[in-house]
Homo-oligomer: A and B are copies of this chain.
Amino acid sequence: MTTTQYVIGVDLGGTNVRAAVLDEATGKIVSRSANVPSRALDGAEFTAQQCAEAVKQALANIEIGTEHIRGIGMAVPGHIHPKEGEVLWAPNFKDQWLGIPLGKMVSDLLGGARIFLGNDANLAALGEFKYGAGRGSKHLVMFTLGTGIGGGVIVDGRLLTGSDGGAGELGHIFIAGGCPEARGGLAMFGTLEGMAQRDAITERAARKVAMGRRTLLTQGGFNRHNVTPKEICDAAAQGDSLAIEVLEETGHYIGLGVASCVNIFNPEVFVIGGGIAQAGSLLLDPIIRTAEANAVATLYAKCRIVIAELGDNAGIIGGAALVGHELAG
């Protein structure tokens, strides 16, 4: 009889940090913390304390000897050095974190625990690869769609991190350079993020509404500053033509990004994740149409395009997956 081995995943966000203990073989969560405020604007030492607190909470409810816990993996929104657990750049934290040794700080608060860090979208891909929609594959690409757009790539079973951990910034690839429609937040004109991030989607809806068209979105007092991607998805699911158009157009741009990445990576699986992916086939169908029309045919034929499986647990499960990945690599 083999003893069950456990890993701990930590999902550090700008608002909360969450941790969970997972059975490493299955990826099942056996215990989890509450949402602990991440104190993102108070300074790195406070955030490190909150991370340690979340880990302690996740461990408090269960009885597992520390010898059965292989390590802790943390998903962090930023540019992370892969080997040293250092945050090279994380704009969502106090004064922009630059060169914060977060792995060591949290480890020191947890008695020298073994800690690995990775970019949150990179680790979402690693989680889907090991425990989710990409199980059994060796080559995978993932987009995580949200306020921004993140990416992650698995090449021959290994996470692509690049020369100093910054690889996989797939939201920052240019798909429509020079096209005036691009907008949204800080994203560059014509990048995938600029064309398909949350603000680009809601803006696309707002412009159609401003043309005076009938739509379910206005019946509840639609306001372009308040409409959410979820409302657009709900309206589309009820057959609203304006909302369906928004998802079709957004899916087209995402599909150009998928085609580019199929041509670059020749993957077996392409995973679409993030909140808007919950629209399911209303978004996935136009993505697939555009990708099929624009990718190299022999490469497209090898690739299946699927919705992510891990949902809100992507960060926790991806972090947990990093432990075994780093210990093996």
A residues at B contact (CB < 8 Å) = 79, 88-89, 137-139, 151, 153, 155-156, 158, 160-170, 172-179, 188, 190, 253, 256-257, 259-260, 263-268, 294-296, 298-299, 302
Contacts and interface: CB of A to CB of B under 8 A. Distances in A.
A161 B266 CA distance: 8
A163 B138 contact: yes
A266 B139 contact: no
A175 B177 contact: yes
A267 B166 CA distance: 9
A169 B296 contact: yes
Contacts of A151: 264
A266 to B, nearest CB: 2
A266 B175 contact: no
A165 to B, nearest CB: 7
Nearest to A295: B172
Contacts of A295: 172
Nearest to A137: B163
Question: How many copies altogether?
Answer: 2
A170 B79 CA distance: 24
A299 B166 contact: yes
A166 B89 contact: no
Given A298-B88, A302-B163, A175 B172 contact: no
Contact of A164 (B253, B256, B302): B302
Contact of A139 (B88, B162, B168, B265): B162
Contact of A174 (B88, B153, B168, B256): B256
A137 B139 CA distance: 24
A39 to B, nearest CB: 24
B253 A168 contact: no
Given A177-B175, A179-B179, A163 B263 contact: no
A287 to B, nearest CB: 14
A189 to B, nearest CB: 9
Nearest to A166: B266
Contacts of A89: 298
Contact of A163 (B165, B177, B256, B268): B268
A259 B174 contact: yes
Nearest to A140: B163
Nearest to A181: B178
A83 to B, nearest CB: 12
A266 B163 contact: yes
Given A155-B155, A164-B302, A263 B172 contact: yes
A151 to B, nearest CB: 8
